[in-house]
Structure 1
Amino acid sequence: MKKILVCLAAGTAMAVAAPAMAQNVGPAEPFTGFHVEALAGYDVSKAGSSIDDDVNEDNDQSIDGFAYGVGAGYDFRMNNFVIGPEAEVTWSTAKTSFDDGDFEGFGVGNVKTNRDIYVGARVGYVVSPQTMVYAKGGYTNAKFDVRNAIGTTDTNRDLDADGWRIGAGVEQAISNNVFAKLEYRYSNYEKGELDYTGDSPDGQRFDLDLDRHQVMAGVGVRF
């Protein structure tokens, strides 16, 4: 996992430098080759069906916020078909809150969203010279910072959640090198553990049922 974070951190630096670099690279064919991208959008995590509180309709069982991050991938184009691996790291401003003394949680206690790592692949079809539609899927690992019971102070614990992601989107070639995209993706986290800082051992893995919905836009550069 640390190796993935190192690679994605390098991708962050590349995304920041992408506008300047795009002026120095030669033309690339749309929807093929290596690319980096900046991502932003809407993020909501909520209780899954097995822990959904259907009795108390006033219980807000979700947290939402602004998601942002970077991604990278490599596309192989065969006529109008495109396939390739992709990876990204994102963060979110979503967190649980107390509303007039009423704790509005979503099944995992008082937390705020930390980083989210995704590694997977996508398959696309070029429907016009500048437009591709695609589907995607893969592994996702999310962390939620655990806070104290009734306040916002971070503790020395993180909830580490493992799951899978599927999604679909459309990508538009602005030029041979520059593209924009819009996608929806759904993630489900089925397993989790509590990670402790310092010398404390991590907790035992346990079952989860968390749903995550995101609508993300991206702008990227191909090389």
Structure 2
Amino acid sequence: MRSVAFPLALLAGVAAASPAFAQADAPFTGPRIEGLVGWDHPVTNPGHDDAVTYGVAAGYDMQMGGALVGIEAEAMDSDAKSCVGAETVANPRVCLKAGRDLYIGGRVGTVVGGRALLYAKAGYTNARVQLNSDDGIEDVRLDKTNLDGARVGAGVEYAVGPNSFVKAEYRYSNYEAGLERHQALGGFGFRF
């Protein structure tokens, strides 16, 4: 009985440790969640202002040797607003405000030095914008619409622990109706 118990215990220990070894060999494999915050620069007509963007993302990556492919989804918001006018009855202030921004896409990358990932991303984005008029007496929503678009970007992700990472990313989005957006973000996340 003892001669059978030891090999079975050894086999069970090796089987239990295999996922840990696989994770160590491919630290960028698996599902992930992250929080993001950064600079938002929507380009609209007649003007544009810098703003703060923030949100969450989730995805799944598969590392194959030094290469990586993955899918991801994001839900972001922004305090971006572009206004013209003076808030008077004769010249009401009209503002275009950015709302939520949803994204789904993919990314490809290469692992550098075992702990860093350089990647490029592309996908579909849908942003909500709202047009308001304020004459100093009443703030009225004139229109609210969703804009479809495409996003491309590049970034670097660094594994700070076995299941945690930090990242920096630049991305460009181009929406219908002539709206463009440049963003530079930082993030912190966990991989499962």
TM-score normalised to structure 2 length? 0.78
- 1:88 alignment partner in structure 2: 74
Match of 2:124 in 1: 139
1:112 counterpart = 2:97: yes
1:33 aligns with 2:30: yes
1:183 to 137, 153, 169: 169
The percent of aligned pairs where both chains have the same amino acid is 43
Amino acid in structure 1 at the alignment position of 2:190: V
Structure 1 window deviating more from structure 2 (68-77 vs 153-162): it is 153-162
Q: Given that residues 86 and 121 in structure 1 are in contact (C-alpha distance below 8 angstroms), is that contact kept between their aligned partners in structure 2?
A: yes
Q: Give the paired residue count.
A: 166
Residues 147 and 154 in structure 1, CA contact (< 8 A), matched pair in contact too: yes
Instruction: Read off the aligned partner of 1:212 and give its amino acid letter.
Output: R
CA RMSD of aligned residues (A): 2.4
Aligned amino acid, residue 186 of structure 2: A
Name the CA distance, whole Å, in 1 between partners of 2:42 and 2:140: 19
Once the 2 structures are TM-superposed, how far is the Cα of residue 46 of structure 1 from its aligned partner?
Answer: 0.6
- Which of 145, 148, 158 in structure 2 is aligned with 1:162? 148
- Give the structure 2 partner of residue 212 of structure 1: 181
Contact 2:133/2:142, CA 8 A, preserved across alignment: no
- Relative to total residues, which structure has the larger helix share, 1 or 2? 2
Counterpart amino acid of residue 107 in structure 2: R
Larger CA Rg, structure 1 vs 2? 2
How big is the shift at 1:155? 1.7
| 1:175 to 1:92, Cα distance in 2 relative to 1, 3 A | same
Shift of 1:123: 0.2
Matches within 5 A, 1:58-69: 61-69=47-55
Report 1:41-60 matches (<5 A): 41-47=38-44
Unaligned residue ranges in structure 1 (runs of 5+): 1-25, 53-58, 191-207
2:34 partner letter: E
Q: Which residue of 2 aligns with 1:172?
A: 158
Gap change, CA 1:157 and 1:35, over 3 Å in 2: same
SS at 2:179 equivalent: strand
Cα drift, residue 159 of structure 1: 2.1
> Could you list the runs of 5+ residues in structure 2 that have no partner in the other structure?
1-18
Question: Aligned AA for 1:68?
Answer: Y
CA contact (8 A) 1:145 1:154 kept: no
1:149 and 1:33 map into 2 onto residues whose CA distance is 48
Taking structure 1 as the reference length, the TM-score comes to 0.68
On the 8 A contact 1:120/1:137 being kept in 2, the answer is yes
**Structure 1 residues 139-165: Cα deviation after superposition (integer angstroms, max 9, x where no partner):** 000001221254682527312111000
